[in-house]
Structure 1
């Protein structure tokens, strides 16, 4: 059985919207508002090596699919299976990509697949997976930025997961790493 790991960049107020670009008024906040510290991104290399599949929502798929296939640093992600949860996508163009229509299909994938299925971005998907009890761990890079609004990792009003800290670090630019397992 696979482990589903949600990995994301967060602001101090829990916003994960548009960290590298996108629709948010402060899109690109991870690069534009916080000094780069290579050590803070070390987990991204580790995640790349550990991923056996990607699970994306439709919006993240639409943002990543035109860009990641041409980027050498994403060669591993381009090679592994990718799954998009979408009720409207019919013909994904990204190599080795399948469409899942429901969280029930995600639960079946989790049972059938081995290794680590990573969820990058995809706030709505991450919230739905958490509500369905399908998330096993969170890898969070929290930036010393307050955005005030935007898509959040944890849905207000929803039952929140109990988390057990597995790994933590603080970097010179104020970014913190938190790796958490979901307690069941």
Structure 2
């Protein structure tokens, strides 16, 4: 079974919206324009890129990344090579870009569950707040890779769903704090009996 990892930049108050500057959000670009840069804080992203077996995206994140990431040949060389899966009920197969490698459209969380049963490396979910909520509610998330920024952003899409559900216990497996106040937190989702 493949490991499904949600990887996110998140503010201390749980906002994950528009960290890179996507239009339409008041605090867009908050990962780059609010704190001094510290290369060490982003080493997790390099590790993820090397270890990943596939990318899983919701439709909105796919539409934001697809025009940009294929052009970032140095920064995202490995991501650009990986198979990509987009979970969407609206995106048609013929609408996917042709310059970003293998892209498959999945129609449901159940199809994601079947993908997890295949062979291969970890499946990374970038951005994709709505998809992340659905995956967590379905019990499909195995791990969270979080870079928590010392910012309070107020309104915005949240990392975690507000659905009324049973508690999910997380096990901290790695943490580090960087000079600019960013905190790396890696949590495994506790399963029955662990």
**What TM-score do the two structures reach when normalised by structure 1?**
0.97
- 1:139 is aligned, of 121, 138, 145, to 145
Q: How many equivalent pairs are there?
A: 184
Matched, 1:169 2:163: no
Q: Distance in 2 between matches of 1:129 and 1:157?
A: 12
CA contact (8 A) 1:9 1:19 kept: yes
Q: Distance in 1 between matches of 2:118 and 2:124?
A: 15
Q: Secondary structure at the match of 2:158?
A: coil
- 1:81 is aligned, of 59, 73, 83, to 83
Q: Distance in 2 between matches of 1:75 and 1:38?
A: 18
Instruction: Report the equivalent of 1:14.
Output: 14
Structure 1 unaligned blocks of 5 or more = none
- 1:124 is aligned, of 130, 144, 164, to 130
Instruction: Report the equivalent of 1:71.
Output: 72
Q: Distance in 2 between matches of 1:53 and 1:77?
A: 8
Instruction: Report the equivalent of 1:97.
Output: 103
User: Structure 1 segments of 4 or more deviating over 3 A?
Assistant: none
Q: Distance in 2 between matches of 1:80 and 1:157?
A: 32
| CA displacement at 1:70 relative to structure 2 | 1.0
**What TM-score do the two structures reach when normalised by structure 2?**
0.92
Q: Distance in 1 between matches of 2:119 and 2:127?
A: 21
Higher strand share: 1
| CA displacement at 1:38 relative to structure 2 | 0.5
Structure 2 unaligned blocks of 5 or more = none
Q: Structure 1 residues 72-81 or 58-67, which shifts more?
A: 72-81
Instruction: Report the equivalent of 2:30.
Output: 29
Q: Alignment RMSD, CA only?
A: 0.9
